[in-house]
A and B are shown apart, each in its own frame.
Chain A
Amino acid sequence: MIELNVNGKQVAIAAEPDTPLLWAIREHLELTGTKYGCGSGFCGACAVHLNGKAVRSCQTPLAQAAGASVTTIEGLSPDSSHPLQKAWIAEQVPQCGYCQSGQIMKAAELLERNPNPTREEIVSHMNGILCRCGTYNRIIAAIERASGEG
């Protein structure tokens, strides 16, 4: 059993220490908003916060999260009220939507550190998260909107 705090709740997961945090979250805890895209750290669809820092959960062994605090898209706000979620709806960002949890979690890390990022700062921070539907410019617009309102 590995114990950690997920979205404010203490949980114990019966999995090997080397289990990727991704599968622990998605399948053991059934928090399926966090997505599997590549399993190798290339796409960023699996981004979650580990002690406030965005990590690729497919590259993070569960052991590394032991005793730590993990936030997933489901825990970002109780009712989709995070400024980024509101901005994402206002800008109608998602298309297929599969990568968007990772995009939002990565963006949330940025605004936490830098409430008013420039466009260049946004692009350089977000560049690691792939979107096959090509919603990148709408993501930038949503982050700019959220930072303006945040």
Chain B
Amino acid sequence: MADNATINTSISRRSFLGGAAGLTFAVAVGPGRGWLISAAEAKTAVHEIGAWVRIASDDSITIITPAAEMGQGSMTGVPIALAEELDADWSKVTLEMAPAEPEIYGYMNRGRKRMQIAGSRAVRSYFQPMRLAGAQARKVLVQAAAERWGVDVTTLTTEPSVVVDKVNGRRLSYGEIAGFAEVPAAMPAVTADELKKKSDFRLIGKPVDRHDIPEKVNGAAVFSIDVQLPGMVYASTVHAPVQLAEPEGWNDAEVRKLKGVVDIVKLERGVAVVADTFEHVLAARQALNVSWTRGAAAEGFDSERALSEDYAAIAERHEATATPVNVTGDVEAAFVNAARVYKANFRSDYGYHAQMEPLNGVARFNEAGDQVEVWEGTQAPGSSREKIAEALGLQTSQVIHHQCYMGGGFGRRTVTDYTIEAALIARSIKRPVKMIWTREEDLAYAMFRPQSYQCVEAALDEAGKISGWRHCVVGDGQNLLTAGIKLDEYYGIPNQLVELRGTSHGIRVKHWRAVAHPPNIFAIESFVDEMAAGENMDPLAFRRSRLAMTPRAQAVFDLVERMSDWGRTRPEGRALGLSVTERSGSVGAGVVEISVDRSRGKIRVHKAWVAVDGGIIVQPEMARRNIESGVVFGISSVLKERATVKEGTVMQSNFHDYQLLRMVETPEEIHVEFIDRDSAPTGLGEIANPFIGAAVANAFHALTGKRLYHMPFTPERVRQALEA
């Protein structure tokens, strides 16, 4: 077999630093303020060092990109900030994926360097350090040119990849400078006020094609599932129907006799069949009959009963233990003094990531068994590498990590349980292995966005303003259930009590695109709309006059009002609904236009308008597509996606019963606009899907006079609501 495994997925630090002639700018770990160090320092540094950027004498520029690529465009968006301040000619820039070394390539977050790309962190975390690094490298180039010409640095300027001496009419390309210059012993310091002004940007805010797209139209892009190794065999794991039960025994002799079967490996939570080809793995999987331990926490769990009955009882039981999430002001007094009170309950079902690439990993041990190479797609290369080492009882340095493209992530791939399985199997069978979960396995053993029940109450004072807000969330998932309740980011409500009442089901749960925001914002913004109707007010006018909007919220509402022509009457059978949300530092407002097929109970979203305040938009075209993706993802989850558990077993098995939105159901128009800001970029990948639930439910009310309280809005629930 051909070894295509190393294509574009990793880079050897040594070869990078010791490579061809040119300037290499390295980065060191440590408390130093600057990100870059000189080559001399790099050679003597006691710390781990790595390269960020290399300028070769042929004018080519290589930038190491630290951002895992799962479709959001970050691998291109992040280095653009460096190239901007370097004043690089982007057409001469090549990108290479950083190795899994967070101490070198990570951003600082809660006291630790991380490479985890989740919560829309890529651009907002790397933007400033990348700019500073680019500015430092540019300074070195300009200084080298000034010395060569014997002029003062202040008389020189740069154009893309060229230092220009306007006074004497001379030019030196970055490649020419790299041919003679050396990185100084100490890198020049750069402060934030030396960075370019927004009006001087050549790359930021201008359309740049994504680095990964050409190889995504001809089949060349390497996902971990595509990796081929010499002598490789195939594996697939079977996990218990009741999540987290453990294997006791199986029909070992019978399965081992099947064609091509190489081995059967017991894992903590599953049994892996190994065979020479994947079709033989599939046949062996079919034949495998495992008995599982009894007593797993999920045994007997019925998700629909829990959501329809138990959670409401927990919410009503005042002695139930509650964890306060936000206590502001005196909420009791607000309700005692209220002129009017509103109350409503909202439910949402389990949600599945449904990334198109079923989870998989490739692993190969060395002969001594003390070093493993893994190929995977992970949102968190640094911690993934650590966890794989930990599971194998190895040091992190004994794990060679190859990051691949991800066929979708959506929050699922910050935990690498799949690649750990591949590595354990490889060690057990002493052969390179490609381990693939079938789609059925990926769904049965999924980590879900938790189902939740939300009870919301609001107090209105004499003037009709919202003076108090109580929000109780019930479910199993801790902050995965409440992280989206951040009213202060868009409304001013003086007295708030947000609390969580936890329960436990033994079902795996996980961050899912925007985490708790989709269910939380569904509740918050549906409820606000319900109050607007109760007060006989236009939903937007109600928000403006009764909810003390923040300036950022006002701006996005104003923009989306204009974009959607909110006040205009729609044709018969169509109606609009709106919602606001914040996420990852951004604020967004959205409007959808829907119709309803009443007999079939089907809602159709025809148009969507989204206004976003995301600070400086580094790549507007990528950002627009990312937000469109969020809109479609949101509509998919709000109208269709539903996972349920009966007798502890996930009831859905593939895309026929866990349905995703298809092309025919996609809005004909999605319009995205940004507020023009000159402030640090904030997250965009998860700003759109949270608002869809309430916007659709509010449009449904505008059209039918009925309310939807349970996501997803399946045909059955839509018909029930219409009959209510």
Contact = CB atoms under 8 A, between A and B. Distances in A.
B234 A27 contact: yes
Instruction: Pick the most buried of A38, A95, A101, A129: most chain B CB atoms within 10 A of its CB.
Output: A95
A42 B217 contact: no
B632 interface: yes
Interface of B is mostly: loop
B218 interface: yes
Interface string A78-105: 0010000100110011111111110010
A92 B625 contact: yes
Contact of A99 (B226, B356, B625): B356
Interface of A is mostly: loop
A123 B663 CA distance: 6
Interface in B44-101: 70-73
Bin the interface of chain B by size: 35 or more
Given A72-B219, A96-B409, A134-B631, 19 more contacts: A30-B1, A32-B219, A32-B222, A35-B225, A37-B356, A37-B439, A43-B655, A76-B218, A88-B213, A94-B217, A95-B626, A97-B221, A98-B408, A131-B356, A132-B410, A133-B633, A134-B633, A135-B625, A136-B662
A95 B358 contact: no
Contacts of B329: none
Given A16-B279, A94-B216, A95-B72, A39 B356 contact: no
B220 A96 contact: no
A33 interface: yes
B663 A37 contact: no
B535 interface: no
A122 B382 CA distance: 43
Given A39-B439, A92-B210, A85 B217 contact: yes
B724 interface: no
B278 interface: yes
Interface in B204-222: 209-210, 212-214, 216-222
Contacts of A35: 223, 225, 356-357, 407
A135 B632 CA distance: 8
Contacts of B73: 95
Interface in B187-218: 209-210, 212-214, 216-218
Instruction: Pick the most buried of B212, B407, B626: most chain A CB atoms within 10 A of its CB.
Output: B407
Nearest to B219: A33
Contacts of B1: 30
A59 B410 CA distance: 28
A100 B358 CA distance: 15
Interface of B: 1-2, 4, 70-73, 209-210, 212-214, 216-223, 225-226, 228, 234, 277-279, 282, 354-358, 405-410, 436, 438-439, 621-622, 625-626, 628-633, 636, 654-656, 660-664, 666-667, 670
A23 B277 contact: yes
Interface in A100-135: 100-101, 104, 123-124, 126-135
Interface of A: 15-16, 19-20, 23, 26-28, 30-40, 42-43, 45, 72-74, 76-77, 80, 85, 88-89, 92-101, 104, 123-124, 126-140
A136 B632 contact: yes
Instruction: Pick the most buried of A19, A97, A98, A138: most chain B CB atoms within 10 A of its CB.
Output: A97
B684 to A, nearest CB: 13
Contacts of A101: 219
Contacts of B438: 39
A125 to B, nearest CB: 9
A96 B217 contact: no
22 contacts: A15-B277, A36-B225, A39-B654, A72-B219, A73-B218, A73-B219, A95-B71, A96-B357, A96-B406, A100-B216, A104-B217, A126-B663, A127-B663, A129-B663, A130-B356, A132-B354, A132-B410, A133-B633, A134-B629, A134-B633, A134-B666, A136-B632
Nearest to A78: B218
Contacts of B621: 92
A94 B213 contact: yes
Contacts, number: 175
A145 B341 CA distance: 55
Given A23-B277, A35-B407, A132 B660 contact: yes
B670 A137 contact: yes
Contacts of A130: 356, 655, 660, 662
A38 B2 CA distance: 26
A92 B73 CA distance: 10
A75 to B, nearest CB: 9
Nearest to B442: A38
Contacts of B358: 36-37
A80 B278 contact: no
A75 B632 CA distance: 31
A134 B632 contact: yes
Nearest to B662: A127
Contacts of A136: 632, 662-663, 666
A126 B621 CA distance: 24
A136 to B, nearest CB: 4
A97 B632 CA distance: 16
A40 B439 contact: yes
Given A36-B358, A130-B655, A27 B662 contact: no
A96 B70 contact: yes
B279 A20 contact: yes
A135 to B, nearest CB: 7
Nearest to A84: B217
Contacts of B213: 88-89, 92-94, 97
Nearest to A19: B279
A97 B216 contact: yes
A93 B621 CA distance: 11
A110 B571 CA distance: 33
B663 A132 contact: no
A128 B73 CA distance: 26
A38 B439 contact: yes
**10 A-B pairs closest in CB distance:** A33-B219, A134-B632, A98-B407, A96-B71, A97-B216, A95-B71, A32-B226, A42-B655, A73-B219, A94-B216
Nearest to A102: B356
A96 B663 contact: no
